[in-house]
Amino acid sequence: MSKIEKILKDHHYKRSRIIQILQHVQAEYKYLPKDILESVSQKLKMPLSTIYSIATFYAAFSLTPRGKHLCTVCMGTACHVRGAPDVLARIEEKLGVETGGTTDDKQFTLETVNCLGACALAPIVVIDGTYHGQTTVNKVGGLLDKYHEKKGT
């Protein structure tokens, strides 16, 4: 049984579970590959345009390959005035990738958000769901190194 068949079976081939199916696919592949979406469309007898509409509406979905680690920098007002633009610039420099991009080795995807609602921790960087508050330009290298060391895991 193929990965996609298993995912669809786990969700009982229900079109009403398309968001959960897409989440499951993204967890498996780290993004939503075009050929997989076409297969989902055929197997669920659901228009591909509908699936793409859902995949592009929700920011949690990605149509391009993402890195093993997701690095998110908050650019909300509190973070911005406390140095987030400089922190972001240092992360871009260290990773060698611009915001919205994925490193060549597929280890990191870098993105920004408008607010994480953790203003007391500003500026804040979130890597793989772990919040790193009061991040400074000088802390960036050590922070990223913690995740680079986990390459084999």
Q: What is the CATH number of the domain that holds 104?
A: 3.40.30.10
Tell me how far the alpha carbon of residue 6 is from its chain's centroid.
Answer: 23
pLDDT for res 60: 83
Domain count, the chain: 2
The predicted-structure confidence for 55-72, as pLDDT tens digits, reads as follows 999 888 999 888 999 999
Weakest-pLDDT range from 75-89, 106-120, 136-150:
136-150
Q: What is the mean pLDDT of the chain?
A: 93
Considering the domain boundaries, does residue 117 fall inside one?
yes
The DSSP secondary structure of 89-141, one letter per residue, reads HHHHHHHT--TT-B-TTSSEEEEEES--S-GGG-S-EEETTEEE-S--HHHHH
Q: Are residues 74 and 125 in the same domain?
A: yes
Across 119-145, average pLDDT? 96
Across 134-139, average pLDDT? 97
Considering the domain boundaries, does residue 63 fall inside one?
no
Q: Are residues 144 and 92 in the same domain?
A: yes
Q: Is it the case that residue 76 has pLDDT exceeding 60?
A: yes
Predicted TM-score (pTM) above 0.85: no
pLDDT for res 152: 46
* Block residue for tokens 């993204």: 26
